[in-house]
Structures are given as structure tokens and as C-alpha cells.
Amino acid sequence: MTTAHPSLIALGVAALMMSGCDNSVEHKVGDQSLSSAAGVDGASTFDIAPAERIALQQQARAGNGEAAYRLAVFYGMAGGESGRAGDPRNSLEEEKWLRLSAKAGFEPGKHSLAVKIGSKDCATARHMMAEIAATSSDSELRENAQHWLEDDALCK
């Protein structure tokens, strides 16, 4: 199983937080502190230049779960290539890259995929969260998965 880098876990948590949780939370992505209450533009924060996107796609297709996760965040948070949030094509791309990330064993990708598919496939999402809660080496991810399971928010 791939071990997540702390900066990517922070990126995933920021992505989840900015997509519907408390807007007054401060997020840390890499060495940069982001305050959603201050009106940070999530799209520009998670944008990927075209050349880097091509490289990440190649890496992801070769089994790099971290690269696939970065692409998922690009489509889910930055509005993908169109830059338009809410575009249904971006949601499909986000899910495609999350599935590759999870398949590669990248825990933040698996966690994000479970959140994304929870309302469509509750049984699979709960199974993924239960696995993360039981086996993740990352205490924050483990704790977050446990909260999702206890709150039953996963399948709504």
C-alpha cells in the first residue's frame, strides 16, 4: 500500500472541506495556509498546467495513485479543463481518477472516492471507509473515516 505524503493528505482534507463543510476552517496545503473564510479561490489553488496534467495522466495510468488523486482534485475543485465548476463532465473525470487512485492503494483517493460514491453505492462506500478506519497508518484519515461511518452521512 502506498503511504500518503502529509501535503497530499492536507490537500485532500482541504478539498473535502472546501466542497461543503465549515467555511471558516483554515486549510494547509503544502507550506501554504489557506483560509476559506478569506475567500480563497479553490479553482486557482488546485489548477494544473496542461503540460503537468499530461505528465500526471501518464503517471496515473502507470499506477501512481498520488498522480491520479491530483488529477481528481483538479477536476473536482478547479473545474477541470473548462474551469467551470458543476460541469457534469468534470464529475465523471474526477470519479475516474479517484477510482485509479484508490485502485493504486492511495488512501486519500480511496477516502475521497468513498465520499463521492456514497449516495450512489452506499455498501461499497461503507466498505471502503471501514477498511480505512481499521487499517490506515494515517491517524487523521482513520479518524475521519470513523466519523463518516458513525455519522451515517456517507450515504446521503
pLDDT tens, residue by residue, 141-151: 999 999 999 98
**117 in any annotated domain:** yes
**Window from 71-80, 81-90, 108-117 with minimum mean pLDDT:** 81-90
Indicate whether this model's pTM tops 0.75: no
Look at strands 26-29 and 32-35 and give their pairing.
antiparallel
Question: Which residue range forms the structural domain that includes residue 61?
Answer: 6-155
CB 97 within 8 A of CB 75: yes
**1 in any annotated domain:** no
pLDDT attached to residue 44: 55
pLDDT digits (tens, 9 = 90+) for 54-73: 999 999 999 999 999 999 99
Q: Which residue has the higher pLDDT, 116 or 20?
A: 116
Q: Which residue has the higher pLDDT, 61 or 24?
A: 61
Q: How many domains would you assign to the chain?
A: 1
Count of other CB atoms within 10 angstroms of residue 118: 20
Q: What number is the average pLDDT over the span 70-79?
A: 92
**71 in any annotated domain:** yes
Indicate whether 17 pLDDT > 80. no
pLDDT attached to residue 37: 32
| Most confident among 6-20, 40-54, 128-142 (mean pLDDT) | 128-142
Q: What share of the chain is helix, strand, coil (3-state, %, to 5)?
A: 65, 5, 30
Residue 60 grid cell? 496515473
